[in-house]
């Protein structure tokens, strides 16, 4: 949900920035248009970043991780607490 909202806000922000550039070239620029476009684009990018799912841990180097593991895993800690 946040990903879609972020995409929409980013798109609207970019459109508002284009409107600002067009009005700027016509010498009718309004700073509120620039601030609104930049604000919407930044808010949209922040929401898109927050809405992305966490990357899955790859299965590469599983054996190496097991060998180089320094501390006990959470499962081993729970087993020790139950004893």
Sequential DSSP letters for 34-53: HHHHHHHHHHHHHHHHHHSP
If phi > 0 it is left, if psi is from -120 to 50 it is alpha, else beta; for residue 27 that is: left
pLDDT tens by residue, 19-60: 999 999 999 999 999 999 999 999 999 999 988 877 777 777
Distance of CA 70 to the CA centre of its chain: 31
Structure tokens at 4: 């879609």
What's the pTM value of the predicted model, to 2 decimals?
0.64
Q: Considering only CA atoms, give the Rg of the chain.
A: 24
User: How would you class 73 by CB atoms within 10 Å of its CB: exposed for 0-12, middle for 13-18, buried for 19 or more?
Assistant: exposed
Q: What pLDDT score does 75 carry?
A: 61
Q: What is the rounded CA–CA span in Å between residue 60 and residue 55?
A: 14
Q: What pLDDT score does 43 carry?
A: 97
């Amino acid at each position: 949900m946040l990903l879609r909202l972020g995409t929409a806000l980013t798109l609207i922000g970019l459109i508002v920035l284009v409107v600002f550039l067009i009005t700027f070239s016509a010498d009718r620029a309004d700073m509120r248009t620039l601030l609104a476009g930049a604000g919407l684009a930044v808010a949209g990018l922040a929401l898109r970043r927050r809405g992305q799912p966490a990357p899955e841990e790859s299965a590469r180097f599983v054996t190496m991780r097991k060998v180089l593991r320094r501390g006990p895993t959470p499962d081993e800690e729970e087993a020790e607490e139950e004893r």
